[in-house]
Structure 1
Amino acid sequence: MILASRSAYAVDEPIEIDVLAADVTKGAQLRVDHLGADVRRVAVLETESRVTLAPLDPGGYRVELVNRAGSTIAATAIQVLDPERRFDPVRYGFTTDYRPGRDLAGLTQLMRRLHLTTIQCYDWAYRHADLLGGGRTYADALGNPVDLDTLRAIVEACRSVGSRSLGYAAVYGVGAAEWPRWEQHALLDGDGAPYALGDFLRVVDPATPDWLAHFTADLRAAVEAVGFDGFHLDQYGWPKRAVTPDGRLVDLAQRLPQLIAGVRAGLPESFLIFNNVNDFPTWTTARAPQDAVYIEVWTPHDRLGDLARVVTRARAEGGRPVVIAAYLSVFATAEVAAAEQAARLTMATLFSHGATHLLVGEEGRLLVDPYYVRNWPAETSTIDLLARWYDFLVAHDEILLPQDIYDVTGAYAAGYNDDVDVTFAGTPVSGDAQAGTVWRRVTATAYGLVVHLINLGSVSDPLWDAPQPPPGVTGAGRLRVRLMGASVPEILVGDPDAAGRLEPVEVTVAGTHACATLPQLGTWQVVLIRWGE
């Protein structure tokens, strides 16, 4: 194994790679690749455990430890952040364990291995409306032990590997002990009862001035006491509209952006993420002063195409990084291989549409339930899978996530356009996430056209949280690209489950088009069509 020392690097930070592979032999090298180009090689001594790379330009890179014969022994990825990019990518993880004396080695290793830039500290507070009222050690609202010294250690552990920590905070939840102080701001249902989560939290108007002042002051105190870099601002997706005891109508689609703006005014330096539960109300919150657009999806967003549409809307609305919380309960109910294939298809959908995925955290546990404490231990094979896919995401960030990437499928692909398209000998191609097809999407990037191919050939129903079979055999794939004068494009193909980097394929010319035969399609293939200067 090789590991980058940090989840991401500023342009002036030293780039250090820990070499943990036991089989490093004489002549081994670190090979650094940028979008298919070999940009650097550094010799690795047999006794060397940490290698420092000279500065690299902003971008994503794949780093491979190769032996003298050129075979890959281990791989990772690094990202050098672009100071010109308005928002840095958000690769999100979580933690829920704040017991005294907790060993944080597993958490920090996971952050480094999966390049997690942000960790949500879920349910750390004493009470939802009294974040710090428990002293140094306490039980949270559901009885879980919390030691603030452990929490502070987590914050510092995140910083030590270049990641940020966000404290969880429900924006309008009030427990029984605090309720008498806030009940005049209750949000009431049609029977006149306060909206409530279970039997222990009631909901208030989140932007009423005295509550907002209290909530923001509590967050500021948490920054001072614990050191959080920001906050994950949660809501429950309901109610959409409600009345208060004095008969005032509250429209949450309007009040929640006001809340975000109020928190930003009170914590101008904090990193803020707000939870748009089931896409509510993304259309009003996406442009609020926060650092990402985060959406937790539920029914009716059940299928891969639903995820794609949610991401596309969020990117168009917000101009910020998009994070999707799609909890894969399938890991707790199905065979590992079938659950892993569901994860592949979910990640392929999100990554190809320009979003990241909140799924994994702790030392290697998965979110299978909205109550994060009920997480699921991941198999070694699952963490290895996630490492391959997150490496691929980081190394190819510039053709996946930036806001200036546009979907041009309708303008370039299929018969009328005939500018770029793919056919497979044994499987039809579709522009939508249809069962029994290869789902094709074309994007315009700063580096050329990118064709995303997601294999749904063996899928009978493209549910994202359901067991899925191994990818079907699609038959030979053929890519055609309209020529621009005499210039012949370079065509490179990448697959996170194959080489993990973009590799060139042979290009031939047939009349007005360049053609290439593609490697066998696994779950997701990324094709970069690059013309020279």
Structure 2
Amino acid sequence: MKKRNITLTIGAVVLASVLVLSYFLFINKTETVNSEVAVATNKGELILDVTTDKAMYDPGDKIELKVSFKNQLKQDLKNGKMEIKIKHLEKQVGSTIEKEISIDSNKTTVVTEQLEMPDTDFKGYLIEVDVKNNEKKLVDSATVGVDVSSSWTKFPRYGYVWDFRKGVDTTSRIEKLKDYHINALEYYDWKYRHHMPVGENTEVWDDWSGRAIYGETIRNYIADAKDVNMVNMAYNMIYAATNGYEEDGVKQEWALYHAEGDSVGKHFKFQMSDSTPTGITHLYFFDPSNKEWQEYIFEQTNKVFEVFDFDGWHGDTVGEWGKMKTHDGEIVYVKDTYTEFLNAAKEAIGDKYLSFNPVGAQGIENANKSDVDVLYVEIWPWDSDSEGLKYDSYYSLKKEIDKSREESGGKSLVVKAYMSYDYGEQHPGMFFNTSAVLLADAAVYAAGGSRLELGDNGSMLSNEYYPAENLFMKQELKDRIATYYDFIVAYENLLRDGQENTDNRIEFPDYANSGVAVPNKIWAYGKQDSEYEIIQMINLLGVSSDDWRANEGKKETPKKITDFEVKYYYTNEINSVWLASPDRNDGRTQELSFTKGSDENGDYIQITVPSLEYWNMIYMK
């Protein structure tokens, strides 16, 4: 398991193992295919961490690999050898790089290596680092993911920043997010006012709540992020203004009003606070389809790009609140305005990126078919999709990721879903439940989506007001999240690169399973692309609820199982079977033996899987 910025616990060296599968019982015909597997994993006896100098690389870039060591082997390492391999899925790319290394006991050192990567665009890799002693025995090992992509929009890994006080060490904060491979940042509440994001003073200003915002800090964040190949997105709502908007040129006749029968009711607004130092307490909403409002807000947004080197606009909403009316009495549902507004916005901001949040996934279909560069949604468990399925379960997350991919022509949905929301508000300063976070992440990643969850100074999001920071990650969760992000980078071409769901039959002879995330069962379903058939396998054994939110801060740890059988009815002839998991062997691919057979349900393979903790991915060629 990879660690970030800590000293690792000492563990035993993992020995090579051979998995030989037995013949099946009760089958009509069988054929056995064997494979021999060498397994290595990082135990921290020598390697503290492996990092790269950027979050993402353009094709043809060189990678600076940094390996941090501390010798805790209780003896000197003399005339050892460091071996570096670049893997794309099950294949090694290029030759093994070898470098002699000697480290005295309890001493630390850092070794850097320049790596030439393939120039193929939109590919994920796992770099494996093995250290052997002078007897050629493996003493420690670690991995890191690498994304070679010319744009962040194919494999978005969104993070956030919110702290724009004077003197913030932006470099170290960006460094932390870079090591999670975050390739785009949402700058939350950086602006002067919602309807006027850039005010007269661009060096220091108060945001709506009275927080002091420093332009130099924002510029430093942007510069540091660009240095490590991260995109910077300026957050702002698409249709909101704050108190005093009329003095700044916003016209009342652009407003949205509550519909009260046949009449125009009160101005649609939200109270944000009882009182603030700025006197701003409310958000007032305007008709996104109003051409004059569009012209106004697009002009204000383009002023942002004149003053700050942001790469795009992250548009936000407060969701769908039912039938509204314009100043002239025309009926408006905000969600129905999204496609036209977003297409006009994209045209207005030119070559800048556009992302957008249809809160609660209400009207998400209209955002999905628009010209946004990246799909994004803030999920709340009480909202429902068009078929009435509430967004409160693991399966509901997968279903929306699938639907958004289809509606958008293949884009990967970024999901923002606040873990243990009420628990965090009631117990500020406490910790996230590790199992809850990992299961929710696995549900999203396995389906082909990604998460907005990591941000400012390495924190994890639990509230829609980002500065709240109610809950924190324990060290175990930090370590595991780091490995999960390496994993989704290394296997991005199996997770969200054109894979489609299949209905291939999957059986677990000794355990209950389901294709729709049922408590106390293994959640398993099939996918495929032009080269691979894939089983996504998430462990809900011993987990009593399928809710992703864990609102009370509780979630059972799944029952880990070992050496269990999986029976998979394949579409195409299977020649090799591979296992990859963020929960074992630092995400390395491991070849598995399998047996072929057929019965009344068709042709199948049967595999013995070494273990399942939270999430396994089996891919078959």
TM-score normalised by length of structure 2: 0.79
**What is the CA–CA distance in structure 2 between the aligned matches of 1:475 and 1:62, rounded to whole Å?**
25
**What is the CA–CA distance in structure 2 between the aligned matches of 1:188 and 1:365, rounded to whole Å?**
38
Q: What is the match of residue 147 of structure 2? A: 79
Identify the range of structure 1 (454-463 vs 32-41) with the bigger mean alpha-carbon deviation: 32-41
Q: How does 1:21-60 map to 2 (within 5 A)?
A: 21-23=69-71, 26-39=80-93, 40-44=95-99, 46=101, 49-56=111-118, 57-58=120-121, 59-60=123-124
Q: How does 1:428-439 map to 2 (within 5 A)?
A: 428-439=512-523
Q: What secondary structure sits across from 1:233 in the alignment? A: strand
Question: Does the aligned pair in 1 maintain the 2:56–2:183 contact within 8 Å?
Answer: yes
Q: How does 1:241-320 map to 2 (within 5 A)?
A: 241-300=323-382, 301-319=391-409, 320=411
Q: What secondary structure sits across from 1:228 in the alignment? A: coil
Q: What is the match of residue 97 of structure 1? A: 163
Alignment partner for residue 470 of structure 1, among 557, 563, 566? 557
Q: What secondary structure sits across from 2:70 in the alignment? A: coil
Change (3 A) 1:289 1:483: closer
Report the AA paired with residue 61 of structure 1: Y
Alignment partner for residue 197 of structure 1, among 263, 266, 270? 270
**What is the CA–CA distance in structure 1 between the aligned matches of 2:406 and 2:605, rounded to whole Å?**
32
The yes-or-no answer on 1:137 pairing with 2:204 is yes
Question: Does the aligned pair in 2 maintain the 1:110–1:361 contact within 8 Å?
Answer: no
**What is the CA–CA distance in structure 2 between the aligned matches of 1:211 and 1:453, rounded to whole Å?**
48
Give how far 1:336 is off: 7.7
Q: What secondary structure sits across from 1:497 in the alignment? A: coil
Identity over aligned residues, as a percent? Answer: 21
Q: How does 1:19-418 map to 2 (within 5 A)?
A: 19-23=67-71, 26-39=80-93, 40-44=95-99, 46=101, 49-56=111-118, 57-58=120-121, 59-68=123-132, 69-81=137-149, 87-135=153-201, 136-179=203-246, 181-191=250-260, 192-198=265-271, 199-300=281-382, 301-319=391-409, 320-329=411-420, 332=424, 339-375=433-469, 376-402=471-497, 404-408=498-502, 410=503, 412-413=504-505
Report the AA paired with residue 246 of structure 1: D
Identify the range of structure 1 (192-201 vs 387-396) with the bigger mean alpha-carbon deviation: 192-201
Give how far 1:355 is off: 0.3
Unaligned 5+ segments in structure 1 are 414-420
Give how far 1:12 is off: 1.9
How many residues were matched structurally? 516
Change (3 A) 1:132 1:484: closer
Q: What secondary structure sits across from 2:535 in the alignment? A: strand
Q: What is the match of residue 450 of structure 1? A: 534
**What is the CA–CA distance in structure 2 between the aligned matches of 1:67 and 1:238, rounded to whole Å?**
56
**What is the CA–CA distance in structure 1 between the aligned matches of 2:111 and 2:547, rounded to whole Å?**
44
Change (3 A) 1:491 1:276: same
Give how far 1:189 is off: 1.4
Q: What secondary structure sits across from 2:358 in the alignment? A: strand
Unaligned 5+ segments in structure 2 are 1-48, 72-76, 102-108, 272-280, 383-390
Question: Does the aligned pair in 2 maintain the 1:128–1:174 contact within 8 Å?
Answer: yes
Give how far 1:321 is off: 2.3
Give how far 1:117 is off: 0.8
**What is the CA–CA distance in structure 2 between the aligned matches of 1:393 and 1:400, rounded to whole Å?**
7
Question: Does the aligned pair in 2 maintain the 1:360–1:367 contact within 8 Å?
Answer: yes
Q: Deviations over 1:39-74 (max 9, x none)?
A: 342234547632111122441111122101345433
**What is the CA–CA distance in structure 2 between the aligned matches of 1:82 and 1:129, rounded to whole Å?**
33
- CA-based RMSD: 2.3
Report the AA paired with residue 11 of structure 1: P
Question: Does the aligned pair in 1 maintain the 2:61–2:116 contact within 8 Å?
Answer: no
Q: What secondary structure sits across from 1:516 in the alignment? A: strand
**What is the CA–CA distance in structure 1 between the aligned matches of 2:460 and 2:255, rounded to whole Å?**
34
Report the AA paired with residue 541 of structure 2: G
**What is the CA–CA distance in structure 2 between the aligned matches of 1:338 and 1:242, rounded to whole Å?**
39
Question: Does the aligned pair in 1 maintain the 2:432–2:474 contact within 8 Å?
Answer: no
Q: What is the match of residue 507 of structure 2? A: 422
Give how far 1:481 is off: 4.2
Q: Deviations over 1:225-258 (max 9, x none)?
A: 1110001100110334310222122232332222
